[in-house]
Each structure stands twice: as C-alpha cells, then as structure tokens.
Amino acid sequence: MPAAYLVKRFDRWLPALILSAGMSVILDFPFNTIDSRAWGRELFSGTGVGHRLHYLDVSDEICKIRLRARNASGEHPFETSDVQFDQITQYFVPPSTTEGFQIVWHAATHAQIERESQASGPGGRLFT
C-alpha cells in the first residue's frame, strides 16, 4: 500500500488514541525531509508521551551494497536500482536536534563497513 495512501488516512487522532491507551506506536515512514518529520512530530505532540527518532547514519556506498543484496535475495517485492536510489536520496536531509526529536543515532562502525565492502563481489553485489 503506498505511503501517500496511508498518510492521508493516518490522521492525528489514531496515534494519539493508541498512545493515550498506553500502547506504543512505531512509525515506519520515510522521514527523509524536515517537512515529513514535522508531520511525524505532530502525531505525538501534545500527547505527553516520549518518543525516539532512530537515524541510521550509513554511507550511500554501504546503503547501495545492502540494497543490491536485498535485490539479489528476491525477498522484497520491489527492486531499487542505484539510479533510483540516487534519485530518492537527493532529497534526504539528516535530522537535527533543532527539530525537536530525541534522536537515537546508529552509526556504522568501521568494522561493519570493512566487512560489508569486502563481502561485495563483482559489480559490488554482496553475497549472502
């Protein structure tokens, strides 16, 4: 189901209702821009509950290696090319603490980057 469809129907009241019942809400939306994150922040603002924005700080090179591995696995219904990845990520703006989020930073370690880079074979494909 396209994210735009869900966003239009995922009004503020639903997450607030779930949060007020004491349950957790996990949003798996691409908060790639300041505007999209502002919408996400509105969902919990005023509810009096805590929040976390998890940010995966990984290079485009590593993202592409992982994306190629996902494509090669055949387990995902959509395959993304390097060109499509570049088109999508050109709009990305890293989150900032000035946006009012509690950011949990997940940075790739040097060991992870080295391991994934070495595991890539011809054409940069990661063999799993």
Q: Using CA atoms of 101, 60, 6, 73 in order, give the dihedral in degrees to the nearest 10.
A: -130
> Which CATH number belongs to the domain containing residue 66 in this structure?
3.40.50.300
- Look at residue 87 and tell me whether its pLDDT is greater than 80: yes
- Measured between alpha carbons, how far is 35 from 105 in angstroms, rounded to an integer? 20
Predicted confidence (pLDDT) per residue in 7-61, tens digit: 555 566 677 777 778 888 787 778 899 998 998 888 778 777 888 899 989 889 8
**CB neighbour class for 45 (10 Å; exposed up to 12, middle 13-18, buried from 19):** middle
How far is CA 110 from each of CA 7, 60, 67, 79, rounded to the nearest angstrom? 36, 15, 19, 27
| pLDDT at 127 (0 to 100) | 31
| pLDDT at 25 (0 to 100) | 79
Q: Number of folded domains in the chain?
A: 1
- Measured between alpha carbons, how far is 32 from 93 in angstroms, rounded to an integer? 6
The domain in which residue 107 lies consists of: 3-124
